[in-house]
């Protein structure tokens, strides 16, 4: 059996999106910037897709949807735009959280080196930031608050709507990285009170290399890429039209199916969590309920995540981990450390992210495969030996 359980890394492209991609590539070969009929047909397809995505996010006609190369670019553009506008008014403080994606953390780090004050608010042990903790950091010199809607590693949902209300009252711009959320839980930019919202197509069955940034009417926006008038001068370069058309199709399809999908995935997720919880000295990462429908993240004491992934891959189970070895750095995931997992435990992490196609039978196979592999690795782990003979204390 083969089970793809890495949908948060990238989800398989939806057949309808792929078909739309191919059709658009053939039919709308013209450049949307060209004045002739072929170009204008492409332009119409572009604007039609923009409108569909805007409606899906609850955007008004005055709001902007800027197409980007993906979620990372959208995050970068939102952050650098707000920072630049803030700096012009002498506001140089940015408030974010300790569990953001690197596409947010790295731009913030860059700004910190350039003289901005960056505050990364910690999260509780369930992986959720407190609205009060964010509010405490808000002062007149804050030019941006950036809080993700759903975490990519542990799936926890953040109180963005409440943070949005707090920011609105103080007229502080809010960015939310909704890359993992869009298409999986209902997302309405206006209801969230977000000034900027990033999304990525391939997380909901669209093509890779396409994302979008929602920008509320009046929120400052500067281009990262100069060189043309595309996207109202906010993102130069000939539009990736087939991908944009396919993104709109994928999003519509994901949202039409969302209520049923979310219900099904929540059931499968809880079954998976219950099954893996039976493994001794293991722990679920992140809140049990306040999490994405398809996200399961665990730590298993006494083993290292890369071995886990490779043995699972041999068994046809495709997953990911927050261990140092899989990230190429010495430290395990900053998200796992932020929820209080110590290094020793964080190295033994596993993320399984389910998608629409997964079945109950597959979930049961995931459970039995993970149990088998954890046991296999523990059998020759010196850490596990010391834990079981009392030389080392169990943490989980």
Which tokens hold the place of 127? 């992986």
Nearest by Cα to 269 from 156, 346, 183, 177: 156
81 vs 326 by CB, closer to other proteins:
326
Which tokens hold the place of 6? 């890495």
The Cα 48–Cα 41 span in angstroms is 10
205 vs 332 by CB, closer to other proteins:
332
9 vs 185 by CB, closer to other proteins:
9
- Supply the minimum distance, in Å, between the C-beta of residue 337 and other proteins: 11
- Supply the minimum distance, in Å, between the C-beta of residue 5 and other proteins: 16
- Supply the minimum distance, in Å, between the C-beta of residue 324 and other proteins: 5
The label of the residue with tokens 């949807």 reads 65
35 vs 330 by CB, closer to other proteins:
330
213 three-state secondary structure: strand
Q: Counting runs of H as helices and runs of E as strands, what totals does the chain give?
A: 14, 12
Query: CA 219 from chain center: how many Å?
Result: 23
325 is catalytic: yes
- Supply the minimum distance, in Å, between the C-beta of residue 313 and other proteins: 6
| Helix axis angle, 37-56 to 241-277, nearest 10° | 30
Query: Which parts of the chain are beta strand (E)?
Result: 3-4, 64-68, 93-97, 117-121, 142-146, 174-177, 196-200, 211-215, 282-284, 295-300, 317-318, 349-353
218 vs 316 by CB, closer to other proteins:
316
- Supply the minimum distance, in Å, between the C-beta of residue 335 and other proteins: 16
Nearest by Cα to 201 from 350, 328, 49: 49
The Cα 396–Cα 393 span in angstroms is 9
- The DSSP secondary-structure symbol of 185 reads B
The Cα 155–Cα 19 span in angstroms is 30
- Residues that bind other proteins in the complex, under the rule CB under 8 A: 302-307, 310-311, 313-314, 323-326, 328, 330, 332, 342-344, 347, 379-385
CA distances (Å), origin 27, targets 76, 315, 352, 355 = 32, 42, 38, 31
Active-site choice (143, 167, 210, 325): 325
- Supply the minimum distance, in Å, between the C-beta of residue 302 and other proteins: 7
The Cα 382–Cα 379 span in angstroms is 9
Contact 208, 70 (CB under 8 A): yes
Nearest by Cα to 395 from 348, 356, 362: 348
- Supply the minimum distance, in Å, between the C-beta of residue 378 and other proteins: 9
184 vs 378 by CB, closer to other proteins:
378
CA distances (Å), origin 356, targets 10, 70, 159, 253, 268 = 13, 22, 25, 12, 10
Residues belonging to the active site: 325
């Amino acid at each position: 059996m083969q089970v793809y359980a890495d949908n948060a890394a990238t989800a398989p492209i939806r057949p309808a999106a792929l078909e739309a991609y191919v059709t658009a590539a053939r039919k709308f070969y013209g450049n949307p910037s060209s004045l002739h009929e072929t170009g204008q047909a492409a332009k119409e397809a572009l604007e039609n897709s923009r409108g569909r995505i805007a409606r899906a996010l609850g955007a008004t006609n005055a709001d902007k949807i800027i197409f980007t190369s993906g979620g990372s670019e959208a995050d970068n553009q939102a952050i650098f735009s707000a920072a630049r506008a803030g700096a012009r008014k002498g506001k140089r403080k940015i408030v974010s959280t300790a569990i953001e994606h690197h596409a947010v953390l790295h731009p913030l780090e860059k700004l910190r080196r350039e003289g901005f004050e960056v505050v990364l608010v910690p999260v509780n042990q369930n992986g959720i930031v407190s609205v009060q903790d964010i509010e405490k950091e808000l002062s007149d010199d804050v030019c941006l608050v950036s809080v993700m809607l759903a975490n990519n590693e542990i799936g926890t949902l953040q109180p963005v709507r409440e943070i949005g209300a707090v920011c609105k009252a103080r007229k502080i711009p809010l960015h939310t990285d909704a890359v993992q959320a869009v298409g999986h839980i209902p997302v309405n930019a206006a209801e969230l009170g977000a000034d900027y919202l990033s999304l990525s197509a391939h997380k909901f069955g669209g093509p890779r290399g396409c994302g979008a940034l929602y920008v509320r009417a009046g929120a400052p926006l500067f281009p990262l890429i100069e060189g043309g008038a595309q996207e109202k001068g906010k993102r130069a370069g000939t539009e990736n039209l087939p991908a944009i058309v396919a993104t709109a199709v994928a999003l519509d399809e994901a949202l039409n199916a969302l209520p049923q999908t979310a219900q099904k995935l929540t059931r499968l997720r809880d079954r998976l969590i219950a099954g893996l919880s039976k493994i001794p000295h293991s722990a679920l990462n992140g809140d049990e309920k306040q999490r994405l429908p398809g996200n399961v993240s665990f730590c298993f004491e006494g083993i290292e995540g890369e071995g886990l992934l490779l043995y699972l891959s041999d068994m046809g189970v495709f997953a990911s981990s927050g261990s140092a070895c899989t990230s190429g750095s010495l430290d395990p995931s900053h998200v796992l450390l932020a929820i209080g997992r110590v290094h020793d435990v964080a190295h033994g992490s596993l993320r399984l992210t389910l998608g629409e196609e997964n079945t109950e039978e597959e979930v049961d196979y995931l459970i039995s495969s993970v149990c088998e592999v954890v046991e296999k690795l523990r059998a020759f782990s010196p850490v596990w030996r010391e834990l079981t003979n009392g030389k080392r204390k169990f943490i989980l």
